[in-house]
Amino acid sequence: MKFQSYTLNNFKNIPQINKLSPGQIEAIEVVGNVLPFKTNNYVVNELIDWDNLDTDPIFKLTFPQKGMLSQEHYDLMKIVLDQTNYTDTIKNVANIIRNELNPHPAGQIEHNIPVLNGEILSGMQHKYRETLLFFPSQGQTCHAYCTFCFRWPQFVGMDQLKFAGKESSHLKDYVLRNKQITDILFTGGDPMIMKAKVFASYIEPLLEAKPENLQTIRIGTKALGYWPYKFVTDHDANEYLNLFERVVLSGINLSIMAHFSHPKELETSVVKTAIKRLRSVGVQIRTQSPVLKHINDTPEIWAEMWRKQVNLNCIPYYMFIPRDTGAQDYFAVTLENAWQIFRGAYQKVSGVCRTVRGPSMSCTPGKVQVLGVSEIKGEKVFVLRMLQGRNPDWVARPFFAEYNKDAIWMDELKPAFGEQKFFFEDELELIFDEHVTDDEIENFE
Ligand SMILES: *Cc1c(COP(=O)(O)O)cnc(C)c1O
Ligand code: SF4
């Protein structure tokens, strides 16, 4: 199958275009000039049900919808598009609106950039002791864009992420030097947008150097959801499988962190084939997704998704809470609702699906799981805990926040029982005040 992408420039060539109402086309043009828009022929022909667009989850997952901008922003962009063709004018207005959409949630990347021999290693993030995030420069786009994605500023060219030229040797050197790292997590964009040869250029040095601390290579990707042909009919599909097999045979666990947001993404014959092929060379597949209004905000959908995943030999891993950026009003569910959806789904499945953890917010101190709403001595509270923490000692300690029925993110929560701070806050400030030097990294080893 040949890959064909559709964006704002060519979406009118989609064969099903006459199924869209004038209002839907207008919404794509108006919203698509502010937020990124990209889909492809697999999503269009095999995932979307064009006869039920009003409720179709994959349509909403990849095509801009009117409700993704506020009325005010929508009207402003529409007036501009009605009145001018000047791309500079359109861009300027788009950027004004973008800046009002909280383009830098959590604002934490600058706190986690590793340093080697005095050199800042851009393209990497080292937030949790065991796991190094790696952003290969050629993996900064995706086979289609999710309309909720917190990385949208990067896709519309607002964030110019910088990547080091010698990044593959930096990766290897940093892992060799920092023995506490057991996992490298390739992320993006979508690293599986890369050709096998390019991906191999990052993997080969690791296989040669074989850092004894390196136990798992993870790849965060939505290729199984948006372009499963990657592992089936693409010209380098077999080259990819061979490379993966070599990683596994070398004794390193290879895990694909597959992003699936709806059971529909697990139903085509090509995704099933892709999963089988990956599993046949020993690749593990773990699954994750945010919980999203209009897409997957019922327990039934999640229970069905986890069951289908397990039946296809995948391991449910995380349910995330979407970050407070971009089209958040369209997608956000409250923390309480997210927990109810998780709990409802978890109750419907057997233990084999209960490897999943969530709902979880990736915020500054760590990954915070909403364990639920409870009442302690007459006070209604959120019970929380960290699944991952900037300080490993914070992990798996229950803590409490005042109940807030409208809260959608951690920054809206206050400590319960009249306390001034959450237990980790003083230490977090200390971590941020420290200037991490190369010497300190030496001391880590
Ligand atoms: C989630 C995440 C990881 C991986 O955490 P695990 O709990 O090991 O899955 C690593 N780095 C960052 C920044 C993350 O958000
Ligand atoms: S595939 Fe991943 S990185 Fe790409 S748009 Fe979707 S969520 Fe964002």
Interval 315-325: pLDDT, tens: 999 999 999 89
In the prediction, which pLDDT does 121 show? 85
Say which ligand is closest to the CA of 127. Answer: 1
Inter-CA distances, 319 with 148, 306, 339, 362, 382, Å: 15, 11, 10, 11, 18
Residue in 125, 131, 150, 218 to alter for ligand 1 test, most ligand atoms within 8 A of Cβ: 131
Give pLDDT tens digits for 205-219: 999 999 999 999 999
Instruction: Using CB atoms within 10 Å of the CB of residue 52, give its burial: 0 to 12 exposed, 13 to 18 middle, 19+ buried.
Output: exposed
Q: What is the pLDDT of residue 434?
A: 66
Query: Helices 269-280 and 237-249 meet at what angle, rounded to 10?
Result: 30
Closest protein CA for atom 15 of ligand 1: 362
User: Residue 106's pLDDT is what?
Assistant: 63
Ligand 2 atom at shortest distance from the alpha carbon of 187:
3
Ligand 2 neighbour 150 (Cβ under 6 A): no
- Where in the sequence is the domain holding 13, given as residue range(s)? 5-98
Compute the distance between CA of residue 226 and CA of residue 308 in angstroms, rounded to an integer. 17
Backbone φ, ψ for residue 24 (5° rounding): -70, -40
By DSSP bridging, strand 357-362 and strand 366-376 are: antiparallel
Residue 167 lies in a domain: no
In a domain, 14, yes or no: yes
Let me know if residue 34 belongs to a domain: yes
Q: What is the pLDDT of residue 415?
A: 98
**Ligand 2 atom closest to 188 (CA):** 3
Residue 421: CB atoms within 10 Å: 11
In-domain check, residue 164: no
Residue 27 forms part of a structural domain? yes
Residue 350 has a CB neighbour count (10 Å cut-off) of 9
Q: Tell me the ligand closest to 144's alpha carbon.
A: 2
Residue type for position 156: V
Residue with the nearest Cα to atom 6 of ligand 2?
Answer: 146
Measured over the CA atoms of residue 38, residue 44, residue 50 and residue 55, the dihedral's sign is negative
Cβ–ligand 2 distance for 145 under 6 Å, the answer yes
Residue owning the nearest CA to atom 8 of ligand 1: 131
Q: What is the pTM of this model?
A: 0.94
DSSP 17-47: GGGS-HHHHHHHHHHHTTS--EEEHHIIIII
Q: Give alpha helix (H) positions in 134-227.
A: 152-155, 167-177, 196-209, 223-226
Ligand 1 atom, smallest distance to 388 CA:
7
The number of distinct structural domains making up the chain is 1
Report if residue 10 sits inside a domain: yes
Separation of CA 132 and ligand 1 centre (Å): 8
The ligand that comes nearest to the alpha carbon of residue 181 is: 1
Q: Cα(116) to centroid of ligand 2, in Å? A: 29
Q: DSSP letters along 100-152, please?
A: TS-SSSS--GGGS--EETTEE-TTEEEEETTEEEE--GGG-S-SS--TT-TTH
Phi/psi at 314 (nearest 5 deg)?
-110, 160
Ligand that comes closest to the CA of residue 390: 1
Q: Contact, 417 vs 403, CB < 8 A?
A: no
- The pLDDT tens digits of the residues spanning 384-437 come to 999 999 999 999 999 999 999 999 999 999 999 999 999 999 999 988 876 454
Nearest-5° Cα angle at 340, 376 to 43 = 150
pLDDT at 381: 98
Which two three-digit tokens encode residue 379?
Answer: 């006070």
Q: Looking at ligand 2, which residue's alpha carbon is closest to its atom 1? A: 222
Atom 7 of ligand 1, nearest CA residue:
388
Ligand 1 pocket (Cβ < 6 Å) reads 125, 127-128, 131, 133, 185, 362, 367, 387-388
What does the alpha-carbon distance between residue 2 and residue 53 come to, in Å, rounded to a whole number? 25
Query: Is 94 a domain residue?
Result: yes
Per the domain annotation, does 355 fall within a domain? Answer: no
Residue 432: how many other CB atoms lie within 10 Å: 12
- How many angstroms separate the CA atoms of 384 and 395, rounded? 11
pLDDT tens-digit profile, the chain (445 residues):
999 999 999 999 999 999 999 999 999 999 999 999 999 999 999 999 999 999 999 999 999 999 999 999 999 999 999 999 999 999 999 999 999 999 887 655 567 788 888 888 888 999 999 999 999 988 999 999 999 999 999 999 887 665 545 667 889 999 999 999 999 999 989 999 999 999 999 999 999 999 999 999 999 999 999 999 999 999 999 999 999 999 999 999 999 999 999 999 999 999 999 999 999 999 999 999 999 999 999 999 999 999 999 999 999 999 999 998 999 999 999 999 999 999 999 999 999 999 999 999 999 999 999 999 999 999 999 999 999 999 999 999 999 999 999 999 999 999 999 999 999 999 999 888 764 543 333 333 2
Q: Say if ligand 2 is within 6 A of residue 292 CB.
A: no
Ligand nearest to the CA of 222: 2
Token pair belonging to 151: 């990385």
Q: How far apart are CA 12 and CA 25, in angstroms?
A: 9
The pLDDT of residue 112: 79
Ligand 1: which atom is nearest the Cα of residue 183? 8
Q: What is the pLDDT, as a whole number, of residue 273?
A: 98
HSE-CB of 221 using CA atoms within 13 angstroms: 23
Pocket test for ligand 1, best of 127, 128, 320 (most atoms within 8 A of CB): 128
- 222 CA distance to ligand 2 centroid (A)? 7
Model pLDDT for residues 43-57, shown as the tens digit of each residue: 999 999 999 999 999
